[in-house]
Amino acid sequence: MTRNQNLPVYTGDIAEQHIDPAREYTAESQEIAFSGEQHAIWADLFAGIHQPYLLEHICREFIHGLELLQLDSQRIPTVAHLNQRIQPRSGWRIERTAVRYTLADDWYAKFAQRVFLITDYLRTRDQMEFTPEPDMFHDIFGHLPYLTLDFYARIEDKFAPAYMNASAEEKEVIKRLAWYSTEFGLVMEDNRFKVFGAGTISGRSELTNTIMEFYRLGRDNVIDYKANVFEQLQEHFSIRKADIHRIIDGVNELHRGGQMSSQNQGWNVVHALYDKLGIRREGYLGGEVILAPFDVDTIAGIPKTVYAFNPMFFVCESFEQMDALLDSYLKPIALRVD
pLDDT of residue 13: 45
pTM score: 0.89
Distance CA(161)–CA(170), nearest Å, equals 12
Domain 1-9+20-338 has CATH 3.40.1190.20: no
Give the residue, 105 or 200, on which the prediction is more confident: 200
Assess whether pLDDT exceeds 50 at residue 143: yes
Assess whether pLDDT exceeds 70 at residue 267: no
pLDDT of residue 129: 78
pLDDT of residue 2: 41
Q: Which segment of 90-104, 129-143, 314-328 scores lowest on mean pLDDT?
A: 90-104
16-59 tens-digit pLDDT: 555 555 555 555 668 888 999 999 999 999 999 999 999 999 99
Assess whether pLDDT exceeds 60 at residue 132: yes
pLDDT of residue 74: 98
Q: Which segment of 231-240, 258-267, 326-335 scores lowest on mean pLDDT?
A: 258-267
pLDDT of residue 58: 98
Assess whether pLDDT exceeds 50 at residue 119: yes
Backbone angles phi, psi at 43, to 5 degrees: -60, -40
**3-class SS string, the chain:** CCCCCCCCCCCCCCCCCCCCCCCCCCHHHHCCCCCHHHHHHHHHHHHHHCCHHHHCCECHHHHHHHHHHCCCCCCCCCHHHHHHHHHHHHCCEEEEECCCCCCHHHHHHHHCCCEEEEECCCCCHHHCCCCCCCCHHHHHHHHCCHHHCHHHHHHHHHHHHHHCCCCHHHHHHHHHHHHHHHHCCEEEECCEEEECCHHHHHCHHHHHHHHHHHHHHHHCCCCCCCCCHHHHHHHHHHHCHHHHHHHHHHHHHHHHCCCCCCHHHHHHHHHHHHHHHCCCCCHHHCCCCEEEECCHHHHHCCCCCCCCCCCEEEEECCHHHHHHHHHHHHHHHHHCCC
Strand pairing category for 192-195 and 186-189:
antiparallel
pLDDT of residue 265: 62
Q: Is the Cβ–Cβ distance between 92 and 111 less than 8 Å?
A: no
Assess whether pLDDT exceeds 80 at residue 200: yes
pLDDT of residue 18: 53
Q: Which segment of 47-56, 59-68, 101-110, 286-295 scores lowest on mean pLDDT?
A: 101-110
DSSP lists the bridge partners of residue 115 as: 93
**What does pLDDT average to over the chain?**
87
Region 132-145: what's the mean pLDDT? Answer: 91
